[in-house]
Amino acid sequence: MALDNDTAVNSLGFAKPPSQTRVVVAMSGGVDSSVVAAYLADQGYDVIGVTLQLYDHGAALAKKGACCAGIDIHDARRVAEERGFPHYVLDYENIFKDAVIAEFADSYLAGATPVPCIRCNERVKFKDLLETAKDLEADCMATGHYIQRKMGENGPELHSAADASRDQSYFLFSTKPDQLEFLRFPLGHLPSKDATREMAAEYGLAVADKPDSQDICFVPNGNYASVIEKLRPGAAEPGQIVDVDGRVLGEHNGVIHYTIGQRRGLGIGGLADPLYVVKLDVDAKQVIVGPKDLLSTRTVPVREINWLGDTPLMSQPEWHVSVKVRSTRPPREAILRPISDSEAEVELLTAEEGVSPGQACVFYETEGSRIFGGGWIWRGA
């Protein structure tokens, strides 16, 4: 339907006044989503705040710097009360456990290094919560993620945040085109996190100085192994630490305590050169170690690809892109060679160290900020 030329488009892209535009804000209780909610309410939008309780409320009650439980739910509710918009807490514990935590545990047991935050966005926040927003007759859903949604010739596109140090595109590569139609990211254009905190202070939000979340929300103090042992009793079975030739160098108390590229904590001193974990053999209960150069690879196999390009992935044999193989690393130039609509091989023009199954490989345009999607690294190169 064509829009009346006299109808102004509001800041969320709708040809109607903010007061007639309903937006559900996914509120984690942190400063980012709180600022989004306060900003949109201040602009006169019909704001509804929704917080998902994702894991045990009691266990997380006093844990700061996480999201979606305990004190964070209280903080989100307080922001809504102060700014005068409704706020709902939805119990998603069972969904979160089945869709995110279970796979996290199983991936670690299989020797992979999973990224549960991506699965949470994909399977919970941008799936079930997004459908809840539609049930609430919202026009769109807004989040506090640092990423940009821009309109292109073929519809909305996903772009990196203006502040590269805050960019969260690695964690959002699996966003589908139909989800992108409904989503909004009001913070993506801001120059820095300081700008967000300044806005929080201007709105008088109590969370203005709240620390950023650091750990995975359901993993206290970054201790993955303890969580997995609780979820999968008997998972920490002892075994051998061996070199690439099979020589036994020591013992370990469970493969789940190790990740590809790890150097510290191996407990095998007295060697002339440092050794790194280069492979995990779950079936043999072996941690395989070797010199650092064995960690380098230029070939990255990916599957479960979510493609966000304007033409189909299989429409050409090669795509020249930049890729991230870990969230903390800058994009590196690569050649993407599709095998099917959901599987490809990525050739890195410069070798990367510690490429691990279970991590994501995210595709970017070589010049510019657009994200073309990504896939999951699924086996060693």
Q: Which residues are catalytic?
A: 120, 217
The SS3 call for residue 353 is: strand
Residue whose token pair is 């305590």 = 257
Task: Give me the amino acid identity at 65.
Answer: G
CB atoms within 10 A of CB 61: 13
Q: Which tokens sit at 89?
A: 């807490």
Angle at the Cα of 207 from the Cα atoms of 201 and 208, rounded to 5 degrees: 30
Rounded Cα gap, residues 317 and 314, in angstroms = 7
Backbone phi, psi, residue 282, to 5°: -65, -45
For residues 104 and 99, give the distance between their C-alpha atoms in angstroms, rounded to a whole number: 9
The residue type of 218 is F
- Residue type at position 317: P
Q: Which helix (H) or strand (E) holds 120?
A: helix 116-120
Number of H helices, E strands in the chain: 10, 17
Pairing between strand 319-324 and 332-338? Answer: antiparallel
| Phi-psi group of 154: left, alpha or beta (phi > 0 → left; psi -120 to 50 → alpha; rest → beta) | alpha
Tell me the three-class secondary structure of 28-52, residue by residue. CCCHHHHHHHHHHHHCCCEEEEEEE
- Token pair, residue 259, equals 């990740």
